[in-house]
Amino acid sequence: MRSTASASAPASRVAQPAPTRQRHFVFLLLNKFTFLSFAAAIEPLRIANRMSGQTLYRWTLVSENGQDATCSNGTTVKVDAGLAEFGRDDVVIVCGGIDVRAASTPAVLNWLRKVSRRGSVIGGLCTAAHTMAAAGLLENRRATIHWENRDGFLEEFSDTDLTKSVFVIDGNRLTAAGGTASIDLVLTIIADDHGKDLANAVADQLIYTAIRTDRDIQRLSIPTRIGVRHPRLSRVIERMEQSIEEPVSPADLAEEVGMSTRQLERLFRRYLNRSPKRYYMELRLARARNLLMQTDLSVINVALACGFASPSHFSKCYRAQYGTTPYRERGTHGLEDEQGAEPSFDEGEPPDDLG
């Protein structure tokens, strides 16, 4: 795949005034970048050229060493250059994906800092907000990142105002959460540059019928995610998700929504086939797994961040859920590995650690 900015004649065009200038985008493809978020950003630019009959946008693809970039699905993308000098008015878009910490090398971070000192617009797609933050580009800025990487980001970069939006534009810093969120970000840029008519025409070509704004959030609503529309159940789950580090007891959760503990138990059993304690434990362990995989936090600190007062109990719960200990998940070993594993959960109940 070689970059191009063709302006071939479309079947129908949107009348546009002569642009004051072309905009040049520089896409930095990190190792194992997510192809979907990259394609969702570059295709609207191509279509904008086609629909306007003008070359409104140009782009260059770069990688750290100028060699072909490999995305997370194994596809290889040819690039035009390495980390070369570009113009001050160029828009640099970092495309992240899997294992973004390893891909955020010193060479990449130093190059981004150099670009930043020129005052250029810099954006990050999918997990690339991590790269931008590691380079110091998101201090006291609003930003977003793919929801799966949110926990690790918050632990490492507390000076960034991380939102749950599909994309964020904060001055000359742009971030998009990944997937199709790149479309929404780029359509907003096109609308700002050349008007909503052209942006809508591009969306129409993409068969993209609902353009989202920076006020839209990434994840499906809780009722949609769990497949159940029950207001009080949704409120309890939302409270659980907000209180991972300091878990709330089932009795207090029930009281907050005007139910008895027994009624809450029946509600979870009926709709989710598990107890409130087990569901809560699964949320906490999922958060812990994300932190183990995405951060350098010690196992003890991960345990504390997920509401476990005892590292050994954390290890036992983790082993029961995932079949391995937190240390082995990291590829290291600790005292926990020398302790016998507890049997699997009985009747759907995890070891209880809600205090």
> 123, 94 in Cβ contact below 8 A?
yes
- b/e 163-186 (16+ beta carbons within 10 angstroms → b): bebbbbbbeebbbbbbbebbbbbb
- Mean pLDDT estimate for the chain: 86
Q: Which of 139, 140, 90, 131 is nearest to 112 (CA)?
A: 131
**Stretch 203-207: mean pLDDT, rounded?**
95
CA distances from 9 to 49, 50, 210, 239 (A): 9, 6, 26, 54
**Stretch 126-145: mean pLDDT, rounded?**
96
pLDDT above 60 for 101? yes
pLDDT above 50 for 344? no
Task: For the chain, give the longest Cα–Cα distance.
Answer: 73
Q: Which of 301, 329, 295 is nearest to 152 (CA)?
A: 295
pLDDT at 342: 38
pLDDT at 229: 83
Q: Is the pTM of this model over 0.85?
A: no
Using DSSP, state whether 176 is helix, strand or coil.
Answer: strand
Contacts of 253 by beta carbon, 8 Å cutoff, 6+ apart: 236, 239, 240, 264, 276
Using DSSP, state whether 351 is helix, strand or coil.
Answer: coil
> 244, 306 in Cβ contact below 8 A?
yes
Q: Compute, in degrees rounded to 10, the torsion defined by CA atoms 261, 262, 265, 271.
A: -120
pLDDT at 152: 87
Q: What are 216-257's pLDDT values in tens digits?
A: 766 666 776 777 788 899 999 999 988 999 999 999 999 999
Cross-strand pairs, 196: none
Query: In order of start, what are the domains of the chain with their CATH numbers?
Result: 23-205 (3.40.50.880), 223-338 (1.10.10.60)
pLDDT above 80 for 315? yes
Using DSSP, state whether 222 is helix, strand or coil.
Answer: helix
Count how many residues are written for the chain. 355
Q: Extract the tokens encoding 93.
A: 């878009």
Contacts of 262 by beta carbon, 8 Å cutoff, 6+ apart: none
Under DSSP, the state recorded for 139 is T
Cross-strand pairs, 92: 26, 122
**Stretch 58-76: mean pLDDT, rounded?**
96
* DSSP characters over 75-120: -EE--SBSS----TTPEEEEE-BTTHHHHS-HHHHHHHHHHHHTT-
